[in-house]
Amino acid sequence: MTTATRPVPGTSGPASPYQSYVYAYPHKTAYRKLPDRPRLDALWAAEPKDALSLYLHIPFCEVRCGFCNLFTRIGAPDGLTGAYLDALERQASAVREALGEREPVRFATAAFGGGTPTFLTAAELERLCDIAEHRMGADLRAVPLSVEASPATATADRLGVLAARGTTRLSLGVQSFDDTEARAAVRPQRRADVEAALARVRDAGIPVLNIDLIYGIDGQTERSWLRSLDAALAWHPEELYLYPLYIRPLTGLGRRAGGTDPAWDAQRLRLYRLGRDHLLAHGYEQQSMRMFRRTDAPPQGADDYACQTDGMIGLGCGARSYTAALHYSFDYAVGMHEIRGIIDDYVSRPAADFAHAEYGRRIDADEARRRHLLQSLLQAEGLRTDDYRARFDGRTPADDFGAELSRFAARGWLAGDGTDSTLLRLTPEGLAHSDAIGPELFSPAVRAAMAAYERK
C-alpha cells in the first residue's frame, strides 16, 4: 500500500493526507557528500552555544519492524556495541574540542534514540551517559533527557540506570496492544510482555511515559484501535504519539507494497480522527498531528519538532547535526547490508576523522524561512508572525509563502485567509493533513535532490 498525489476537487494540490512525515527539513535524502569536508571548529565558531541540544544515536535493535526505515541493524556481533561506544567516545571528544572554550557551552536538552538505545546493557547505558556528561559536558540530571525503548529491552536494570542518570521521559514503542496487529506490522511481541514492560517503566519512577501507537495496520478496525487506545490509557501515560502507518521502500512491508490505495488513505484518516477525539475526551491536549499530552503532565521543554532547531549536536551513525548554515551527518541507508558497512566504517575511524562534516546540505535564507514555517505551522499552537518578522528582517510569512498559505486556507486547512497579522494556525482539518502540508512547502531544490537520491 502506498499513497499518490491526486487533485482535490475544486482546488489544486494533493488529496492524500499521507504524503510524508516531516520531522526534519531538509529531508535526509537531500543530503549529499560534502567535497570540502568542512572542519567542525569553523562551522561552530560563530554559532550560539548557550542552549544546544544533544542527541546520541544507537543503531541497534533486537528486531526490525516491518515499517521501519530508521538507521539501525538487527543485533550486534560480539564486541560491536563496545566498539561502537569507543567510536562514540572518540567522536564526542573531537566534537567537544571543536566547540571550543572561548565561550561557555551549555546543553539545554538531551536525547538517546535509534534504533533502540536500551539494546545496550545496563553497564553500556552507564557508559553512554558518561560520554554525554564527561566528554560533552551535558548535565543530564539538570536538563530534559528523553530515551527511546522497546518492551523487550525495557528491563528493570536498564530502566534503573536511566532513572538514576536523570531520564525525564521514556518513550516506549508499543505500536499495538493487539498481538495479531503486531504480527501484521512485523513486530513480534505479546501484549503480556508489553504490559509487564509498562509496569517496569512506572516502577522506575521516570516522570514522563510516552507510548507510541500506529494506526492503519492491515486488519485493524475501529474497535481494535479503540481497544489499543484504552489499553494505553490504563497506564495514564503523560504523552501519546499516534502514528499513521507508512509503507516505505526497502523495508519489510515495503517489499510487499502494491499500487496506490485510496481506501487505505480513508481508513487511516478515519482512525486518526477517532483516536484524536478519544484522547481529547480523556484529558489530553493535541500538540501536533501525532503528539498528545495529558493536561496535567509535567512540562518537558521543546516538543516533537525540537530536532529541527539550530544548535543540534548529533553523535553516532544516523545522527544529524544542525548549524544555521549547514545540516550534516554521516552517510544514510535503509538496506541492511549498507547499514552494516556504514557502522563498520564508523567504528574503525580515528578521532581526527570526526573533526569534519562529510554529508550534509547548506541552508540558505530561503531554506531557513521554510524550516521555520514548517516547524511552527505543523504544531497545534501555530506560527506567531511577530516571531517570523523578528527573525527574518521584517518579512512576513505571506511575503514569502503567500501562494501556499492561500491554497491551504482555500482547502480549509488554515484559519483565516493565510495573511493573519498575528497568528497562523492550522484548523483541526489542517492538522489532520499535516503530512500533505509539510511536503508542499519543500523548496524545488530540495524536491529535486530527494528525487535524485539513490536508495540503498
Per residue in 152-185, pLDDT tens? Answer: 999 999 999 999 999 999 999 999 999 999 888 8
Residue 118 · residue 154 · CB < 8 Å: yes
* Cis peptide bond upstream of 219, omega within 30: no
**Which pLDDT band holds residue 5 (cuts at 50, 70, 90)?**
very low
What proportion of the chain, given as a percentage, has pLDDT over 90?
A: 74
Q: Considering the chain, what is the average pLDDT of its residues?
A: 89
Q: How far is CA 177 from the centre of its chain?
A: 22
DSSP annotation of 202 = H
Same domain, 299 and 375: no
Predicted confidence (pLDDT) per residue in 353-392, tens digit: 999 999 999 999 999 999 999 999 999 999 999 999 999 9
Same domain, 261 and 151: yes
Same domain, 154 and 279: yes
Same domain, 298 and 400: no
Expressed as residue numbers, the domain containing 394 is: 365-452
**Which pLDDT band holds residue 103 (cuts at 50, 70, 90)?**
confident
Q: Give the CATH number, domain containing residue 279.
A: 3.30.750.200
Residue 260 covered by a domain? yes
The confidence score (pLDDT) of residue 440 equals 95
Give the containing element (helix H, strand E) for 147: strand 145-149
Give the domain-ending residue among 273, 307, 341.
Answer: 307
Q: Give the CATH number, domain containing residue 403.
A: 1.10.10.920
Predicted confidence (pLDDT) per residue in 7-62, tens digit: 333 334 456 889 888 888 999 999 999 999 999 999 999 999 999 999 999 998 87
For residue 281, the tally of other CB atoms under 10 A from its CB is 8
Tell whether the model's pLDDT for residue 254 goes beyond 80: no
The confidence score (pLDDT) of residue 228 equals 98
Residue 349 · residue 88 · CB < 8 Å: no
Same domain, 297 and 376: no
Residue 163 · residue 206 · CB < 8 Å: yes
Tell whether the model's pLDDT for residue 4 goes beyond 50: no
Q: Please choose, from the candidates 17, 116, 131, the residue with its C-alpha nearest in 3D space to the C-alpha of residue 68.
A: 116
28-63 exposure pattern, b = at least 16 Cβ within 10 A, e = fewer:
bebbeebeeebebeebbeeeebeebbbbbbbbbbeb
Backbone angles phi, psi at 147, to 5 degrees: -135, 135
The confidence score (pLDDT) of residue 3 equals 32
Backbone angles phi, psi at 349, to 5 degrees: -75, 140
Q: Please choose, from the candidates 130, 183, 189, the residue with its C-alpha nearest in 3D space to the C-alpha of residue 154.
A: 189
Give the containing element (helix H, strand E) for 314: strand 312-315
Tell whether the model's pLDDT for residue 190 goes beyond 90: yes
Same domain, 200 and 267: yes
Residue 337 covered by a domain? no
**Which pLDDT band holds residue 437 (cuts at 50, 70, 90)?**
very high
Choose between 397 and 68: higher pLDDT.
397
Count of structural domains within the chain: 2
Cell of 274: 477517532
Q: What's the chain's Rg over C-alpha atoms?
A: 21
What is the value of pTM for the model shown?
0.91
Cell of 146: 528523553
Q: What is the dihedral of CA 132, 137, 143, 148, to 10 degrees?
A: -10
Same domain, 264 and 389: no
Predicted confidence (pLDDT) per residue in 275-299, tens digit: 999 999 999 999 999 999 999 998 7
Helix or strand or coil: residue 49?
coil
Cell of 133: 556528561
